[in-house]
Amino acid sequence: MFNYKNLKKILFLFQPETAHHLAELGLRALPNCRMLTNYMVNKNFVNDERLTQEIFNVKFINPIGLAAGFDKNSTMVKAMPALGFGYTEIGTMTPRPQDGNAKPRMFRYPKANSVQNAMGFNNEGAHAVLKNLKKVYPFVLPIGVNIGKNKTTPEEYALNDYKMLIKKFEQTSDYLVINISSPNTPNLRDLQNEEFITALFNMAKELTNKPILLKIAPDMQVDTAIQLCKTAVNAGAAGIIATNTTIDYNLLPGCQNFGGLSGEVLREKSYELFKEIAKELFGKTLLISVGGISNAQEAYRRLKAGATLVQAYSGMIFEGPSMVRKINEGILELMEKDGYSHISEVIGADLK
């Protein structure tokens, strides 16, 4: 019904954050137009039993999820099937509303199919987000909730922020994600240490039986990342999401000297760290891979490396609303080529 290449030309005339707001307006309105929604669901949503998995006692119809950062305030959940996603992750939200960092704070690099953001957990706060979430949960797709501390919360009180958020969202989510890996909240990554992670997940076990995952940064040494992930799993984490954005600005000459890079420039860095983590933890916990995934070949590579699920975000800016369908259809084609009858045979195939 429209050519995304033409729409992208229009959207790219605007500043990235303005374009994001325009996309949000469209996706919020989409469910009100049943004819268009049905058309897009029929066109983009791949429902094939070969891709279906039962995870956390919830059905994931396909393995491609929307990464956190796009739908910060849970306003676009109803549009996710129209984009083809098998699940969605909202947030990151904080206990109190916050505006985030100074603008401009989002930059796109079309030649590199990459994005840089320094948003800083801008969101309407837990109370407002929960109000939005209650309007849609439970949903036809699994919903993850990504949580982080407020910028003004001192490190010594960070546990209190996560405690409040876990208690607030555990009844309106299918899983929760602890975000201590964003580069855009000062000193947040300092919480990526064994003492804090152990205390965090020990506390979480006392609060809820809801699955809680840890999302890590791609900029740690491999040994450090593996040890932190092991610590989290031993303390009760239900899984690991690898990775968040990177502050390795050497990956993209000419980029800003602040904020996190995502998209294609992150692809190999994210894959290499994920692969090493999977060598240690595959079969012991759930692994989700994110970072530079925008086509079937890359998604398939992450699945074979040990990912049960994958996530995408930046790629959609450049590929458009057909991206997830192409990924899922491509995965099915690659499975047929390799003689696999179900996605469970693909997951961790490189490690078996």
Active site residues: 182
E-assigned strand segments in 73-221: 87-93, 106-109, 114-117, 143-147, 175-179, 212-216
CB 89: neighbour CB atoms within 10 A?
30
CA dist., res. 64 & res. 108, Å (int): 23
- Are residues 130 and 187 in contact, defined by beta-carbon separation less than 8 angstroms? no
- Are residues 303 and 273 in contact, defined by beta-carbon separation less than 8 angstroms? no
What's the one-letter identity of residue 28? Answer: R
Q: Two tokens at 165?
A: 């958020």
Q: How far is CA 38 from the centre of its chain?
A: 25
> Minimal CA–CA distance to 130: which of 89, 88, 171?
171
CA dist., res. 233 & res. 213, Å (int): 9
Spell out the alpha helix ranges (H) of 97-256: 126-134, 158-169, 194-207, 222-235
CA dist., res. 145 & res. 30, Å (int): 22
> Minimal CA–CA distance to 123: which of 160, 97, 151?
97
What's the one-letter identity of residue 36? Answer: L
B/e letters for 136-172, b = 16+ CB within 10 Å, e = fewer, are bbebebbbbbbbbbbbebeeeebbebbbbbbebbbeb
How many helices (H) does the chain have, and how many strands (E)?
A: 13, 13
